[in-house]
Every structure is written in C-alpha cells, then in structure tokens.
Amino acid sequence: MNITVLSLFPGMLRGFFESSIMARAVKRGLVSYELVDIRDYATDRHRKCDDEVFGGGAGMLMLPGPLGAALEAAGSPAKRTVFLTPSGRLFNQAMARDFAAERDLVLVCGHYEGIDQRVIDTYVTDEVSIGDYVLSSGEVAALVLVDAVYRLVDGVITGESLAEESFGLGLPEGSDGRKSASLLEYPQYTRPADYASMPVPEVLTSGHHANIARWRLRESVRKTLAYRPELLAAAGLPEEVRRLLREIVIEGGSREPDTEDPGRAN
C-alpha cells in the first residue's frame, strides 16, 4: 500500500512512519509512504497557505491553490483521497478494512478552520472524522487512520492476531470476508498466574481449548454489553452470541439491547 499524507506540518508525522511495526512494514516493502509539505506548492514568496473566510467569522482557512496543486501532484482524485475532518463520517473498523483494500491512499490534514469546500468537491473521495471532538489539526487524526489501516495490509501482522481482537471477535465472516457484527475483546492475563492475590480465571490455565474459547466469547459479550451495547443491537449476530447475551442479561438483571433502539441497553 502507498500512503501519501498532505500536511502543513509533516514533521509531526515522520516519527510514526519511522518507528516500530510501521518502520518494519516499510522496510519489508509492504507499505511505502510520502509526506508532502503543502507549503511547497505555495506560489508567493511568503509561502502563504491560508486566508480569511468569506462571509466573516473567526479563524483562517487553508487556500485552495497550494492544496489543490499538491493533490494534483499526488494523483487525486483518481486515488482514494481522505480529508480528515470532524464533520466527516465517523471512522470505524469496517472503514479501516475498506481503506486497507486500496493500493493507494491519499490523506489530507486540515489546519486552522479547515479547507476550502471547492477542494473537497474536486479531489476528496471520503470525509472522515475520528471522533466527536475537535482537534487543532488533522495530523493526529491522519495517524489514527493510517495506524488502523496499514496493520490490516496483508503480511504486516499475523491474520490470527487480527481475528482475535476487538470488532472482529467470535463472529462468522460473510461471503466478502467481512465480519457481520462486532464484539469487544475479552479480558486477557499473563504471568504470574496469581498477582496480588488475584488468580487468573481457572479455565485459562486448564489447557482445554474449547472451554477457553467459550469463556472468551462469553466475556466478550459481557464486556460489549457493558461498554458498547449498540454493537450487540446490530444485525447478523450469531445465535450463540444471542444465547450468551440472554444468559448474561438474566444473570445480571440487565435489559437486552433493543434492536430498534440501540444504545439504550444499560
């Protein structure tokens, strides 16, 4: 996968690409990247990249000229081009899988009040928000997206690790290889088996793989019900998960998520 990130502050991004799993993926040729300084496309001697907003209001907006030129050079909009913005669609694991299937990804980091709508209309294929809050600039958001996406690229980390984590656990795949619904990951433990008088759940040291798998699925359902009940209200929940859910609700006296009204289960 080739990742191009357009930014006014590429220095904020460099450390990520040069560290840890990403650095290894780059070295192995699984990922390549380019960090583009939008200022390099400014045409005046002050390398100006922002101006006041038409219609008034506080703050500045990134100029369409330099950003548009940088996007042209990056190959947008023929390549999937994502603008990170709090007013975009909320990022999730399904979107990460979708982006991971692309050969090329171009990311645009906003700054100040954001970017000119005409640049969005001309070059941007996806507007993506990483959460319901406002950051001062798009670099951190771009790294969140890149980190969630590149680890799904074939060979970067093992398929087993990916199958056994939040948003994919214990659920069958559809014909397109995607999980039909999501669970959060179960609690995990390592040595020592007894820490501060807290022994790990006995089943995990039993060596009985089927029982361990059952325990993990049940704990995943329990945690998802507690923290993210709306995930359990999604369509496509396997019967085994539905059964566990009913059991947990009866045990705890809690209400089952309402499929018509997700998010009101607690």
Span from 1-9, 98-106, 128-136, 173-181 in contact with ligand SAM (CB under 6 A): 128-136
Span from 17-25, 84-92, 154-162, 257-265 in contact with ligand SAM (CB under 6 A): 84-92
Could you say which of 10, 114, 170, 257 contacts ligand SAM (CB under 6 A)?
A: 114
Using CA atoms in the order 71, 77, 83, 88, what is the torsion angle rounded to 10 degrees? 160
Element spanning 15, H or E: helix 11-17
Span from 49-57, 137-145, 190-198, 243-251 in contact with ligand SAM (CB under 6 A): 137-145
Confirm if 211 and 219 have CB atoms less than 8 A apart. no
Number of residues that bind ligand SAM (CB under 6 A): 19
Angle at the Cα of 82 from the Cα atoms of 140 and 142, rounded to 5 degrees: 10
Angle at the Cα of 202 from the Cα atoms of 199 and 204, rounded to 5 degrees: 105
Does residue 135 bind ligand SAM (CB under 6 A)? yes
Could you say which of 4, 76, 81, 85 contacts ligand SAM (CB under 6 A)?
A: 85
Does residue 134 bind ligand SAM (CB under 6 A)? yes
Does residue 79 bind ligand SAM (CB under 6 A)? no
Residue with smaller CB distance to ligand SAM, 63 or 130: 130
Span from 40-48, 83-91, 188-196, 228-236 in contact with ligand SAM (CB under 6 A): 83-91
Supply the angle between the helices 20-27 and 139-150 in degrees, to the nearest 10. Answer: 60
- Least distance between ligand SAM and beta carbon 3 (Å): 16
Relative to beta strand 80-90, strand 104-109 is parallel
Task: Check residue 198 and report its DSSP letter.
Answer: E
Span from 8-16, 133-141, 201-209, 246-254 in contact with ligand SAM (CB under 6 A): 133-141
Residue with smaller CB distance to ligand SAM, 134 or 210: 134
Residue with smaller CB distance to ligand SAM, 137 or 254: 137
Determine the residue with CB nearest ligand SAM.
110
Q: Where are the beta strands (DSSP E) in 43-185?
A: 50-52, 60-62, 80-90, 104-109, 126-129
The SS3 of residue 128 is: strand
Which residues on adjacent β-strands are paired with residue 6?
36, 108
The torsion angles phi and psi of 34, rounded to 5 degrees, stand at -140, 130
- Least distance between ligand SAM and beta carbon 109 (Å): 5
Residues within the interface to ligand SAM (CB under 6 A): 84-87, 109-111, 113-114, 129-131, 133-138, 141
